[in-house]
Amino acid sequence: MQEFQVYPTYEHLSRAAADVVVSTLQGKPNAVICLPSGSTPVGMFRELILRHEQGLADFSQCTFVGLDEWIGMGPEDEGSGRQLLDRDFLHPIGFRPEQILFFDARAENLQAECERLNGAIEQLGGLDLIILGIGMNGHLGLNEPGTSFDTYAHVSELDPITIEVGQKYFQGPTPLTGGVTLGLRHMMEARRLVLMASGEAKAPVIARALKGEVTEAFPASLVQEHPDAWVLVDADAASAFL
């Protein structure tokens, strides 16, 4: 691991994460950047949209890769990973459809869909940057506890905690039956990894990810092994660590 940075507020954290994206693009305008959906990156997206509007961030040559999706859901489904990413980032920056590589979680053959993504990422030369949030059970993407560090994209069986916490993205009770996700091996092979966390609820999982044993039982512990991982958190999320 390279960096553990604690910022006073969510806004400071969001700006710091946006800085990493912008500096990656300055070094490599056609970078391949994997983005998560969910609550944590919303402030970073807001900051990136602002910089785009001000002419300070150029996304015109890069490729975005979506991290994960709930099985059976697509862009029209309220609360789906793709809908959140479209709404919070891709639509505001006016992305071109060919710039995004995203799971079709409604595909009949999900295994083939995972292979399509694996092949496309390889063709692009791998991920230059992957931005991640952390689940309340230590998952990264939808790599649930017990997932091998050696996996690429795969179909994931959801942990009960993920099904419960995942309800926050939807307006009413929603059956979550599984996921498709980039694998932990994609994360290890990404040239730079940024793990973001905000809020007191994430404090215990951040502490375990950084100080606990490196184990497949707690996927986020993988950041300790990554040669260029930056863990960026706000003060609340750091409160069990310091």
Catalytic residue numbers, as ranges:
68, 137, 139, 144
Among 40, 143, 147, 221, binds ligand GLP (CB under 6 A): 40
Query: CA-CA distance, 82 to 74, in Å (whole number)?
Result: 6
- Residue 133 · residue 38 · CB < 8 Å: yes
Q: Does 99 bind ligand GLP (CB under 6 A)?
A: no
User: Closest separation between CB of residue 61 and ligand GLP, Å?
Assistant: 25
Among 1, 4, 12, 39, binds ligand GLP (CB under 6 A): 39
Count of chain residues binding ligand GLP (CB under 6 A)? 14
Query: What are the structure tokens assigned to 180, written together?
Result: 């498709």
- Report the site for ligand GLP in 154-173 (rule: CB under 6 A): 162, 166
Looking at the Cβ atoms of 51 and 219, the one nearer to ligand GLP is: 219
Q: Does 183 bind ligand GLP (CB under 6 A)?
A: no
**Pairing assessment for the beta strands 179-181 and 154-156 based on DSSP bridges:** antiparallel
Residue 240's alpha-carbon distances to 76, 141, 202, 205, 227, in angstroms, are 38, 23, 9, 9, 24
- Residue 91 · residue 83 · CB < 8 Å: no
User: Closest separation between CB of residue 158 and ligand GLP, Å?
Assistant: 9
Residue 54's alpha-carbon distances to 24, 90, 117, 119, 196, in angstroms, are 18, 16, 33, 35, 25
Looking at the Cβ atoms of 25 and 44, the one nearer to ligand GLP is: 44
Looking at the Cβ atoms of 12 and 28, the one nearer to ligand GLP is: 12
Residues in CB range of 189: below 8 A, 6 or more apart: 126, 127
Question: What residues line the site for ligand GLP (CB under 6 A)?
Answer: 36, 38-40, 67-68, 132-135, 141-142, 162, 166
